[in-house]
Chains A and B, each alone.
Chain A
């Protein structure tokens, strides 16, 4: 019996299945824990519903970006956007409020820009990444391009060759 189990584990095909079952068990156990997280990691801002209500009162046009409104003006050191990052830089919050002309147009005509796919929080992610964690961006793209290199090598030298053989 034990021998049969061990033999089935030696089959590479079964390894991902067994492993994913093990991970799901671990995750299930960890979900029962009481999580008490660090409150300093949250952005200081009104709740999303409150932001939408504020947008409808036409107080400030930047509330139309709800729930991604971070305040501030682009490239103004005295009026920065609200950013919480791991490693502080002097340029924090400078470009958080930057929008492309098209995005500005959309923000002006609708209350729902922040909740569409166009209003992704790209600006803030980019700023936090490039200014405070630049090394990570390099590493992530290195991983991506390594994967591309492997895939293109396999396609050019193995898959394409097999296809040519079949055509002959």
Chain B
């Protein structure tokens, strides 16, 4: 039984875009609509202006976000949305890893332009995690390719699981968890989210969610 059809009752259609064919299922179509709506919402909204109260002082400070900074972060948010559409629709496992890398680097871009030291420190550590992660991410895909001889999810769906594929899946899981800043990395994320300019940092949560959803589907398809 084909795993793709098992997971999402039927395939709506293939997007003939170049040599690698993304496909749409009812599930991924819902995800795409969510991403598009959310990205438009974020791109149109203005950055929040936050007041900071400190203990031991009788002052309330208001913070501002520079116009240039907001512009750059908006650009990175939109790029992240485009990359996320790729993540949820792609029909090729190597393209999936590339899109996840693009999501990771745009996430860093959203935070790299903030002028608070603790945010920059946390973003730097997250960047280190991402660099470490590229080894298991691409290594896992290389292992799957070397074992099965194909990268297409449609073909991989028909191949039964075996121990070497399981190692590849595990490496893919570890790599994508690091690139998409999923569960164990909330510590670095929390420091980064203390940055001002609220609407754009929501993109990071959305990207974590979407990468996670798609990753689970791919792990099921490959196995």
Binding site for B on A (CB under 8 A): 9-13, 15-16, 19-20, 22-23, 26-27, 30, 33, 35-38, 40-41, 86-87, 89, 132-136, 139-140, 142-143, 146-147, 149-150, 153-154, 157-158
Tell whether, in the assembled complex, residue B113 and residue A157 are in contact, meaning their CB atoms are under 8 Å apart. yes
Query: Which of chain B's residues have a CB closer than 8 A to the CB of A150?
Result: 76, 105, 108-109, 112-113
Contact (A153, B149) CB under 8 Å given A35-B164, A139-B102:
no
**Chain A's nearest CB lies how many Å from the CB of B155?**
10
Query: Which of chain A's residues have a CB closer than 8 A to the CB of B92?
Result: 135
B167 CB-CB contact with A under 8 Å: yes
B220 CB-CB contact with A under 8 Å: no
**Chain B's nearest CB lies how many Å from the CB of A81?**
19
**How many residue pairs between the two chains, A and B, have CB atoms under 8 Å in the bound complex?**
115
Tell whether, in the assembled complex, residue A33 and residue B163 are in contact, meaning their CB atoms are under 8 Å apart. yes
The interface-forming segment of B26-34, B35-43, B49-57, B121-129 is B121-129
Contacts beyond the supplied A15-B185, A19-B184: 15 A-B pairs with Cβ under 8 Å: A12-B125, A15-B184, A16-B129, A19-B178, A23-B174, A35-B164, A36-B147, A38-B147, A38-B149, A133-B94, A136-B98, A143-B98, A150-B109, A150-B112, A150-B113
Interface range, B side: 35 or more
Tell whether, in the assembled complex, residue A134 and residue B148 are in contact, meaning their CB atoms are under 8 Å apart. no
Tell whether, in the assembled complex, residue A147 and residue B20 are in contact, meaning their CB atoms are under 8 Å apart. no
**Chain A's nearest CB lies how many Å from the CB of B177?**
9
**Chain A's nearest CB lies how many Å from the CB of B4?**
18
A16–B135 CA distance with the chains assembled, in angstroms: 14
Query: Which of chain A's residues have a CB closer than 8 A to the CB of B79?
Result: 146
B170 CB-CB contact with A under 8 Å: yes
Partner of A40, one of B17, B102, B149, B164: B149
**Chain A's nearest CB lies how many Å from the CB of B140?**
10
Query: Which of chain A's residues have a CB closer than 8 A to the CB of B18?
Result: 134-135
